[in-house]
């Protein structure tokens, strides 16, 4: 059986390229172009973005190409393909087992993604070259469409954040016109750019494929569907565009079911996302550890000894559902939080509140508390018993409910401080 590179029915590549370009100018989308390629070659094609997400796929004459997340690949596999000149030919194996070869599709200095087909590398390279211009035309048209909507989208997102659109039917209509789906599970997301290049930040927000409201180094968007997966996709896109995995911190509020429609719940999700982002930023800002995160883990428990949680030091995104006790406090007015903290902590000095918070966050471990605060364990053993006893009695006799109250009060004080700082 002949190989793909010597197929007797191999198309005229120059003619195929012209047909694809004409189709793109006539309004064809990526899927349409891949369909034309499949018809001309008898091959299966997939277009993936640089995070491995499937942008479009063809259907061969013999079998349907799988759709959805399983048809995508990993960013690691794509990275190997992008450095192919240095490492040699690299096949990309998708999550459903499909294997393809191909190459990157560029728009000037920017990568759109990679085009893959089930053929040998030499033939794949020729087909990628023939298809690149048409695929880039579609990408530029999509960018222009997004830019045309941008002026309206930022207003819509701001209105969603502040519950400015009612009733429910109008809420749905306005959101849909801006490319947002509020009829399915969704959540507000808040972003913070940590760098100083505002032009790069603005460009990244313009091309990531998410409707965005940007204000200085802050931005907001709405995530619909699988919120954790969408938050991950968003942060990967931004990391690639900005050239650093830590360039942006991102947080998502609680997921809103979308059925029934309730604009107030969507606004609450955005508000909670801001609070969660403040927690994430505070963790990263801790002295001596620019990528440190002391936010709680999934399952309701609070963060433990930082030395045993190396992944948290590099966390750049956080979901509301990943919080523990903080979930009960997010969204409460600062005045109520302040009153609760002052009443429960009985006028404790700020340094003692920090000490108590560290002790509670580390499950009462003196050594972990000392490590967390950069203090001497011996000094902690002298200070902690007296501090805790003054608030709640001997450690061994403190009811669990009282410990929970104290923990909540230290967290409430933290929220108040973040609110006062304008985070």
Sign of CA dihedral 89, 92, 98, 101: negative
Domain co-membership, 340 together with 355: yes
Return the pLDDT at 299.
33
Domain contains 148:
no
Asked if residue 1 lies in contact with residue 118, where contact means CB atoms within 8 angstroms, the answer is no
Taking only the tens place, the pLDDT of each residue in 209-233 is 788 999 999 999 999 999 999 999 9
Domain boundary among 325, 350, 380: 325
**Strand 317-319 relative to strand 248-252: parallel, antiparallel, unpaired?**
parallel
Domain contains 151:
no
Return the pLDDT at 335.
86
Domain co-membership, 312 together with 363: no
Nearest Cα to 353, choosing from 415, 267, 266, 309?
Answer: 415
Domain contains 192:
yes
Asked if residue 129 lies in contact with residue 21, where contact means CB atoms within 8 angstroms, the answer is no
Domain co-membership, 197 together with 290: yes
Domain co-membership, 22 together with 131: yes
Domain contains 152:
no
Residue 380's Cβ-count burial label (10 Å; 0-12, 13-18, 19+) is buried
Domain co-membership, 352 together with 400: yes
Domain co-membership, 61 together with 182: no
Find the domain containing 366 and state its range.
332-420
Domain contains 150:
no
Which residue blocks in 162-226 are alpha helix, DSSP H? 168-177, 198-207
399 contacts: CB under 8 Å, gap ≥ 6: none
Domain co-membership, 213 together with 305: yes
CA–CA distance, 26 with 36 (Å, rounded to integer) = 14
H/E element, 14? helix 13-25
What are the CA-CA distances from residue 127 to residues 43, 101, 108, 152 (Å)? 11, 11, 19, 39
Other C-beta atoms lying within 10 Å of the C-beta of residue 333: 9
Domain co-membership, 192 together with 290: yes
Residue 423's Cβ-count burial label (10 Å; 0-12, 13-18, 19+) is middle
H/E element, 239? helix 227-242
Asked if residue 56 lies in contact with residue 135, where contact means CB atoms within 8 angstroms, the answer is no
For 103-135, b where at least 16 C-beta lie within 10 A, e where not — what string?
bbbebeeebbbbbbbbbebebbbbbbebbbebb
Domain contains 136:
yes
Domain co-membership, 13 together with 108: yes
Domain boundary among 143, 170, 201: 143
Phi, psi (degrees; rounded to nearest 5) at 159 = -65, -40
Q: How far is CA 350 from the centre of its chain?
A: 34
Other C-beta atoms lying within 10 Å of the C-beta of residue 256: 25
| Residue matched to tokens 């990967």 | 236
CA–CA distance, 55 with 46 (Å, rounded to integer) = 8
Return the pLDDT at 157.
92
Taking only the tens place, the pLDDT of each residue in 98-154 is 888 888 898 887 888 889 999 888 899 999 999 999 999 998 887 776 665 555 788
Return the pLDDT at 297.
34
Nearest Cα to 332, choosing from 249, 220, 413?
Answer: 413
Q: What is the CATH number of the domain that holds 23?
A: 3.30.450
CA–CA distance, 114 with 112 (Å, rounded to integer) = 7
Phi, psi (degrees; rounded to nearest 5) at 385 = -55, -40
CA–CA distance, 415 with 413 (Å, rounded to integer) = 5
Sheet of 54-57: strand order equals 54-57, 45-48, 110-117, 99-107, 92-93
Concatenated DSSP letters for 372-399? Answer: HHT--HHHHHHHHHHHHHHHHS-GGG--
| Bridge partner residues of 101 (DSSP) | 117
Residue ranges in the chain modelled with pLDDT below 70: 1-10, 59-90, 145-151, 285-314, 395-396, 421-423
| pTM attached to this predicted model | 0.57
Domain contains 366:
yes
Domain co-membership, 182 together with 265: yes
Greatest Cα pair distance, the chain, in angstroms, is 88
Number of domains the chain is built from: 3
Indicate the angle between helix axes 121-161 and 168-177, nearest 10 degrees.
140
């Amino acid at each position: 059986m002949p190989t793909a590179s010597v197929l007797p029915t191999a198309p005229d590549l120059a003619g195929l390229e012209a047909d694809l370009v004409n189709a793109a100018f006539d309004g064809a989308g990526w899927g349409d172009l891949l369909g034309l390629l499949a018809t001309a070659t008898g091959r299966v094609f997939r277009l993936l973005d640089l995070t491995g997400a499937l942008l479009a796929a063809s259907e061969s004459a013999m079998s349907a190409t799988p759709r959805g997340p399983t048809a995508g690949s990993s960013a690691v596999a794509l990275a190997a393909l992008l450095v192919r000149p240095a490492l040699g030919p690299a096949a990309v194996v998708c999550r459903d087992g499909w294997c393809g070869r191909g190459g990157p599709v560029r728009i000037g200095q920017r990568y759109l993604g990679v085009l893959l087909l089930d053929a040998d590398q030499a033939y794949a390279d020729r087909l990628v070259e023939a298809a690149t211009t048409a695929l880039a035309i579609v990408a530029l048209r999509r960018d222009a469409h997004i830019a045309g909507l941008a002026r309206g989208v930022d207003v819509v997102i701001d209105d969603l954040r502040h519950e400015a659109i009612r009733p429910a039917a109008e809420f749905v209509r306005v959101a849909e016109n801006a490319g947002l789906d509020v009829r399915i599970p969704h959540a507000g997301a808040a972003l913070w750019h940590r760098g100083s290049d505002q032009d790069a930040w603005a460009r990244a927000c313009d091309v990531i494929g998410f409707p965005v409201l940007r204000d200085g180094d802050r931005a907001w968007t709405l995530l619909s569907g699988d919120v954790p997966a969408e938050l991950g996709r968003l942060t990967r896109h931004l990391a690639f565009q900005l050239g650093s995995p830590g360039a942006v911190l991102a947080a998502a509020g609680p997921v809103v079911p979308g059925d029934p429609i309730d604009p107030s719940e969507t606004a609450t999700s955005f508000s909670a996302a801001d609070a969660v982002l403040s927690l994430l930023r505070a963790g990263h800002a801790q002295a001596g550890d620019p990528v440190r995160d002391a936010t709680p883990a999934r399952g309701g428990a609070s963060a433990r000894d930082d030395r045993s949680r190396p992944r948290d030091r590099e966390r750049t995104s956080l979901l509301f559902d990943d919080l523990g006790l903080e979930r009960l406090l997010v969204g409460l007015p600062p005045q109520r939080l302040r009153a609760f903290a002052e009443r429960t902590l009985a006028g404790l000095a700020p340094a003692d509140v920090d000490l108590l918070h560290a002790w509670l966050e580390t499950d009462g471990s003196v050594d972990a508390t000392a490590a967390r605060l950069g203090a001497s364990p011996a000094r902690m053993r002298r200070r902690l018993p007296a501090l805790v006893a003054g608030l709640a009695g001997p450690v061994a006799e403190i009811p669990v409910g009282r410990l929970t109250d104290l923990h909540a009060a230290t967290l409430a004080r933290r929220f108040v401080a973040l609110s006062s700082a304008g985070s």
